[in-house]
Amino acid sequence: MRKPMMAANWKMNKTSEEALQFARDFLRMSPPVSEVDVVIFPPFTAIYPLSRALDKTGVHLGAQNMYYETCGAFTGEISGGMLAAEGVTYVIIGHSERRHILGESDAVIAKKIQAALESGLTPVLCVGETLQEREAGDAAAVVVRQLKAALWGLGGDLPLVVAYEPVWAIGTGKTASDADAQEMAALIRNELASITTAAERTRILYGGSVKPDNVAMFLQARDIDGALVGGASLDPHAFYRLSMAAKSQASI
């Protein structure tokens, strides 16, 4: 049985004071932290204050990115070790905005995955096709390529979360159908089985315009274990409803 995960990717939103206000409002509602791994990925500037606010609450802290070196002359970068020291346990690697806006390659993503694991962080590896790739019938091939490239050279019992996020669904209000999302999640799990002994235990999330009103259809899918949520996670009430939806699914 895989524990569901509900992940809030705040992207470049919220000052540290706004993040603390979110934490106060969200915690007041008693989120279902025993049944669901609830994770917040704030911007770097809010990690330190949130690590204090979320301490011993059961809500996990994540980072949206990291660099693959451990220290040194890399202006503007942050290492996995620095994040772990602040109580971060998960890190998003290969988000489509980093691939497509910031030009991150499969090779860089592979180095980041390796470095995250070496720092004791659990990577949340994002994979997903563009609209052009889907329309050309290449969605499966693209996702398999991204997965293999990111996990190249790794094996054994990998602590890993994979998020299937079709690029055309992120922040657009369009979602994959539940059948397409399940098909891609099953493909990912099948591919993971040739890489890691933990494939059956690996959580696979769906991401792309998930809202409280549509999350249930993804959570019902056999190989989908939660969601990575951008826009809707900025509101504590919406993120609470999303976390509760994951709890209901866990108990079925």
| Shortest spacing between CB 75 and ligand PEP, in angstroms | 26
| Cβ nearer to ligand PEP, comparing 43 with 81 | 43
Partners of 8 in the beta sheet? 40, 229
Our finding on whether 207 is near ligand PEP (CB under 6 A) is: yes
Q: Residue 165 interacts with ligand PEP (CB under 6 A)?
A: yes
Helix (H) or strand (E) run with residue 237 in it = helix 236-250
DSSP for residue 168: G
Of 95, 129, 133, 191, which residue is the catalytic one?
95
Residue 165 falls in the annotated catalytic set: yes
Indicate the SS3 state at residue 90: strand
d(Cα 148, Cα 151) in Å, to the nearest integer?
5
Closest residue (Cβ) to ligand PEP?
Answer: 230
96 or 119: CB nearest ligand PEP: 96
Location of structure tokens 């274990």: 225
Per-residue x/- track, 217-236, ligand PEP (CB under 6 A): -----------xxxxx----
Q: How far is the CB of 85 from ligand PEP (least distance, A)?
A: 25
- Give the other-Cβ count within 10 Å of 194's Cβ: 9
Instruction: Give the separation between CA 51 and CA 47, rounded to whole angstroms.
Output: 6
Binding site for ligand PEP (CB under 6 A): 9, 11, 165, 170-171, 207-210, 228-232
Residues marked as catalytic? 95, 165
